[in-house]
Amino acid sequence: MDLSEKLGILADAAKYDASCASSGARGRRAERGGIGSTEGSGICHSYTPDGRCVSLLKILLTNYCIYDCSYCINRRSSGVRRARFTPDEVVRLTLDFYRRNYIEGLFLSSGIIRSPDYTMEQLVSVVKTLRQTHDFAGYIHLKTIPNAAPELVREAGRYVDRLSINVELPRQEDLDALAPEKTLVQITRSMDTIRDGIAQAREEKFGFAPAGQATQMIVGATDATDAVLLRTSASLYAGQQLRRVYYSAFSPIPDGSSALPQAAPPLLREHRLYQADWLLRFYGFRVDELTTAARPNLSLELDPKTSWALRNRESFPVDVNTASKEELLRVPGIGVRSVKRMLAARRWRRLRMDDLARLRIVLNRARPFITTEDYHPTRLGPDSAKLAARLEAEAQLDLWAAAEAAALTGEV
C-alpha cells in the first residue's frame, strides 16, 4: 500500500473525532533553520479564540485496534480496510503538507496496537522527531492512549501544544455496555497526569501542553440524558481543569452492534449541548438550572438560556442600567462581551434601546426580558406560551446565523 492510499484510509478514519480545535496554543515560531509557526493562516479546519482559521493535518497513526468498542468504526471486529503509518511517514507527511502551505499543524490519534504503551511510544516518537530533529514549530494536538504509562504521557506533553483523551461515554455503565475494555478510572488517571503536568509546568515555567487538555463525549449512543452529559462535563471542568469538552452526535456505523441505536440523534441536540456548556463555563449557570428532573434533556426548540428565562419569569424584566453583571449574563441575547460593553457604557450615560443596538445586543431575543431608559415592558405574566411560541419561531429563522455568531464570538 503506498502512502497516498494510507492517507486516504487514515484521514477518513480520523473524521469522527471532533476535538481538534487549536484554541489556546502559545505563540511559537521556528528558530533559524527550523520550520513552522502556530501564528500563520491557512485552510479552514478550526478556529482560535480570536477567530483566526487554522488548518490541521488530522490523521490516525493506524486504524488497527485491539479494542472492540461497539460505537467505533475502527473496532477490532469491524470489516473496514486497515492501514498503518510508520512514525517516519507521519513526520514526512506533516512536513511536506506544511511546506506546500496546506496545513499549520498536526492532529494525531491512533487505534491501539499491541498495547497502550507500545502505541503511545509510537505517537511520542512522531512528535519528538518533529520538534527535535526538524525544529517544527507548528501546532500539535496529540490524543493520549487510555491506560498508557504516566511517564509516556509526561514525555508527550513536552513536545505538543495540546494533549487530550476521550471519555466518549459519561457513565461507567455506558462503557460496560459498549466499550468493556475501557474504564473511567483509567481515563481519569491519564487526565490526572496531564492536569498535574500542566500545573507543574505553570509553576516551574517550562513547556508542557500549553493549550491544555480536552475530551470528547458521544451524544445519543446510549440513553444518557443531557443532564448526565452536562454533569460529567461540569465535573471534568472542575476536577481536571479541561480546556474544552467536545460533543459528537452518534453516527450509525456499518454492521453496528444491536445495542446501538438505529438512527442518529438530531444534530440540534449536539448544538444545544455546546450552548449549555458555554453557559456553564462563562455565564455562571449550574447544570440543575439548565435541566430539571422533569425535563432532563435540553429543549430543541429554544436555546438553553431562553428556556431558563421562561421557567424563571419572576426574575424579569431586568433594568439594564442597574442590573449586576451576573443578572445581565442571564438575559437571552446578551453575551459576555456585550455585558462588558454595557457596563463600560453605563459609566457615562443611561442606556436606551438604540444604545443596545449599537452595542450589538440581539434585541429580538433580549427585548422581552429587559427595561431601558426609554423602554418599560410589563413583568412577564404567569402564562408565557405566546412569548415562547414567538421566540421558537424566531429561533428557527435565525438558528444557523446564531450558531455561526456563537462559534466566532462566544456569545449566546
Measured at the CA of 119, the angle between CA 113 and CA 124, to 5 degrees, comes to: 160
pLDDT at 166: 92
Residue type, 158: R
Q: Does residue 71 register a pLDDT over 80?
A: yes
Mean pLDDT, rounded, of the chain = 85
Rg (CA), the chain: 23
pLDDT at 56: 87
CATH 3.20.20.70 in the chain is located at 3-284
How do residues 48-60 score in pLDDT, each as one tens digit? 445 556 688 899 9
Q: What φ, ψ does residue 106 adopt, rounded to 5°?
A: -130, 135
Q: Which of 247, 252, 309 minimizes the C-alpha distance to 273?
A: 247
Q: Does residue 384 register a pLDDT over 80?
A: no
- Asked whether the whole model's pTM tops 0.75, one would answer yes
Confidence tier at 196 by pLDDT (50, 70, 90): very high
Whole-number Cα distances in Å, 137 to 33, 128, 157: 11, 12, 15
Q: Does residue 202 register a pLDDT over 50?
A: yes
Give the residue-averaged pLDDT of 111-129. 96
How do residues 83-116 score in pLDDT, each as one tens digit? 999 999 999 999 999 998 888 889 999 999 999 9
Question: Which CATH number applies to 3-284?
Answer: 3.20.20.70
For residues 292 and 230, the answer to whether their CB atoms sit within 8 Å is: no
Q: Give the position of cell 481536571.
A: 240
pLDDT at 252: 85
How do residues 303-335 score in pLDDT, each as one tens digit? 999 999 999 989 999 999 999 999 999 999 999
Q: Does residue 402 register a pLDDT over 60?
A: no
Residue type, 359: L
pLDDT at 380: 56
Q: Does residue 288 register a pLDDT over 90?
A: yes
Whole-number Cα distances in Å, 20 to 115, 206, 210: 24, 24, 15
pLDDT at 204: 86
Residue type, 52: R
pLDDT at 104: 86
Residue 203 corresponds to which cell in the numbers above?
509553576
pLDDT at 411: 40
Q: Does residue 412 register a pLDDT over 50?
A: no
CA atoms of 199 and 168, how far apart (whole Å): 25
Q: Considering only residues 397 and 327, tell me which one the structure prediction assigns the higher pLDDT.
A: 327
CA atoms of 334 and 315, how far apart (whole Å): 15
For residues 250 and 224, the answer to whether their CB atoms sit within 8 Å is: no
